[in-house]
Structures are given as C-alpha cells and as structure tokens.
Amino acid sequence: MIPPIPTEPMAARTPLLALARRVASTAPAHASGSYPPNPPRLGGAALAKIDARAYTLGKTLFTDRLTLPAESPPGCDPAANLEILRVIQDRLPERVASEIDLPSLAPRLDTEQVNALIYYVGIRFRIAPDSVPR
C-alpha cells in the first residue's frame, strides 16, 4: 500500500524534524570494529604508578620529536640496541609498525633512551617489558 501524500504545511512538521535530528545526533554511531571517539582514560591509581619522565622521553623518541646525534653517544651499544628495537618493532601493531622504523634508531640511542622507549611502548601498546631482551 502506498502511503498518502501529506497535505499539511512544512511548518507543522518542522518541530518533529528538529526532534528527530536531535535524537539521531545523540545516539552513538559506532560501526563494527570502530573505536569510540574518546578512548578510556587511566584511573588515578594507574597514573600514580607511571614514571612520567621515562614515559615522556619514550614518547618523544617514538614520535621522532627529539633531535638525535648523528654519531653514537657514549654508553651506546648499537648491536644490543638493534636487537631490542627489532623485537619491539615486531611486537607493534601492523598499522603502527608500517609507519615507524625503530631499528634505524639503534646506533643513536643510549641505554637510558632505549629503556624509556621500552617503557613507553610497554604502556602505550601493552607490550610486556619482560618479553623484550635487555
């Protein structure tokens, strides 16, 4: 059966359309496999356990916002760093691993920076620090 064509003026339907638009805009619109717009935050107890200095240093190294020296710094073991950074690179999610090349940083990082990078990646991507050789 074909619905009848409404004969009432558009002005009478405007409040109904406004109400429908408001209801539709407040409903969450998550497709299958999508992420919520605001990811869950860490609670106060979890934040208290985080070493802010190591986390921030690791994040700046990971996002390539720290200018690294062209030569190896003192206290750097490029072979050991390369092994560690390859393990971390292999454990990163595919979409992240395709955008970053951690092993290329191996000859330019000192021990403190490598440890900070392990710390950051462990928290950010839930990679167990025990699974990374040191």
- Domain contains 11: no
Domain membership of residue 67 as a residue range: 44-127
Is 57 within the bounds of a domain? yes
Mean pLDDT computed over 78-88:
94
Q: Between 74 and 13, whose confidence is greater?
A: 74
Tell whether 53 is covered by a domain.
yes
How far is residue 6's CA from residue 25's CA, in Å, rounded to a whole number? 26
Q: How large a percentage of the chain has pLDDT more than 70?
A: 75
Residue 9 lies in a domain: no
Distances (CA, A) of 91 to 56, 117, 127: 21, 13, 7
pLDDT at 23 over 60: yes
The overall pTM is greater than 0.85: no
**Residue with the larger pLDDT of the pair 47 and 73:** 73
Residue 21 is predicted with a pLDDT of: 76
